[in-house]
Amino acid sequence: MERQRLYSKTLRAGKRTYYFDVKKGRDGSTYLVITEQKDDKRNRLMIFEDRVEEFVSLLKEAVDKMKE
């Protein structure tokens, strides 16, 4: 089974572009891929479904600190 894209959104922010993709793996697991692209450089972060709640919680915590 090939990897299947379930969701995809793009955010353009100045010289950077962010891609948010939810994919289903060959084994049926679901994961989030966040890709940052600037010029010809690309950084990718993969968050698997068993850790997504913890990831979102820590991300929210960090954003709250930024707002202080």
Read off the pLDDT of each residue in 7-15 and give the average, rounded to a whole number: 98
Do residues 22 and 31 touch, judged by C-beta distance below 8 A? yes
Query: In the prediction, which pLDDT does 2 show?
Result: 60
* CA gap 34, 31 in Å, rounded: 10
Nearest to 35 by CA among 3, 65, 12, 59: 12
Report the C-alpha dihedral over residues 40, 52, 21, 63, rounded to 10 degrees.
Answer: -60
Question: What is the average pLDDT score of the chain?
Answer: 95
Write down the pTM of the prediction: 0.87
Domains of the chain: 4-67 (3.10.450.700)
Span 20-39, pLDDT tens digits: 999 999 999 999 999 999 99
* Span 3-18, average pLDDT: 96
